[in-house]
Amino acid sequence: MPCLNWLVEYFIFANYCLIISLGKIMAKSILQPLTFLSITVFTFLICWLLGVTVSENTLSINGTSLIMKAMCISFLIHGVLFIPSYLFQTEKFYDLTGSVTYVTTLGYVVYEAYQLTGGLDIRTLVIAACIMIWTLRLGSFLFWRVLKDGEDKRFRSILPSFTQLLMTWALSAAWVFIQSLSALVAITALARVEFGVLGYIGLALWVFGFLFEVLADHQKTQFKANPANEGKFINEGLWTKSRHPNYFGEIVLWLGISVMSVSVMSGMQYVSLISPVFSFMLIYYVSGVRMLEARSDKKWGNSAEYQDYKKNVPIFVPKL
């Protein structure tokens, strides 16, 4: 289908341009307020276009698809909570807001799907449970960590700027929506298909990725809790296999969600498979790997031990 292939390539290219732009913004913070505002609007429009594109043959209420309603809920929650974040110059509930938004949008869509169809299939229940478990675990972990550390250092240069902070909150709203897009399609699709082999493969990927991420987070927390490791970089456990094993696990689990979802898709719904691609680009180029690598180079760049670590440990995909 040439049209479908073209649209998929367009969305991947558009998101690539967005992520690269945002990565440069968060790394250097040199763009003018009007540019931040333009990127905020562009982010919303990309989500709107994606939502409209994949909503064909999905459940709707009064002519509006549940997928578009989920997008509006995501931006509404983030828009409301952006206000106290700017007024009180705090980022402490930023990550927690993402989790609350996942729970709210997913809960709403699952509830309405049940009301409209009179029941929920195994695919919907498994996907919803997987996302709920992941977001509640990660959200509580990140919220506890920022309370313990006192701040999220990523926001030091962002909080004072109204437009840059607004853009950052809009990015979080887009992250929730786009990352869960394939799941939203699976839950609201009119077509119903047995869970099947692909479903179990996707579930296995999710379990592997989830456990990988949880273990990596636990190992780093334990490492930092030891006073003897003050000022040191972690080089033990999964962190000897990858410099960012937690992020690798997250990408794998979201790939699993997409694999579980794909069997019910048709036509333009396949565009929703951009979810794990967007997740990778966001984590790798904006909010995770890129920033942490720069921070680590600044802190330990002159250390021969750290340079040896970088030489022998892959940045993302773990070595065997």
Range of the domain at 102: 2-312
Query: 318 lies in a domain?
Result: no
In this prediction, residues 153-159 reach a mean pLDDT of 81
Domain count, the chain: 1
Query: 294 lies in a domain?
Result: yes
Q: How far apart are CA 117 and CA 192, in angstroms?
A: 11
Arithmetic mean of pLDDT over the chain: 90
Q: What is the pLDDT of residue 156?
A: 80
Query: 320 lies in a domain?
Result: no
Q: Is it the case that residue 224 has pLDDT exceeding 60?
A: yes
More reliable by pLDDT, 22 or 84: 84
Q: What is the pLDDT of residue 9?
A: 55
Q: Is 234 left (phi over 0), alpha (psi -120 to 50) or beta?
A: beta
More reliable by pLDDT, 288 or 134: 134
Query: 319 lies in a domain?
Result: no
Query: 15 lies in a domain?
Result: yes
Residue 250's pLDDT band (boundaries 50, 70, 90)?
Answer: very high
Q: What is the pLDDT of residue 34?
A: 83
Is 56 within 8 Å of 269 (Cβ atoms)? yes
Query: 31 lies in a domain?
Result: yes
Q: Which of 185, 177, 188 is nearest to 78 (CA)?
A: 177
In this prediction, residues 204-210 reach a mean pLDDT of 98
- Sign of the Cα pseudo-torsion (71, 72, 73, 79, in order): positive
Q: What pTM does this model have? A: 0.87
Which tokens hold the place of 192?
């119903």
Q: Is it the case that residue 5 has pLDDT exceeding 60?
A: no
Residue in the structure block whose two tokens are 């960012």:
244
Q: What is the pLDDT of residue 13?
A: 55
Which tokens hold the place of 190?
């009119």
Query: 95 lies in a domain?
Result: yes
Q: Is it the case that residue 197 has pLDDT exceeding 90?
A: yes
pLDDT tens figures, 18-58: 555 555 555 444 557 888 899 999 999 999 999 999 999 99
Q: CA end-to-end span of the chain, whole Å?
A: 38
Q: What is the pLDDT of residue 216?
A: 98
Is 254 within 8 Å of 179 (Cβ atoms)? yes
Query: 41 lies in a domain?
Result: yes
Which tokens hold the place of 189?
């699709």
Is 29 within 8 Å of 157 (Cβ atoms)? yes
Residue 320's pLDDT band (boundaries 50, 70, 90)?
Answer: confident
Least confident of 67-76, 116-125, 148-157, 302-311: 148-157
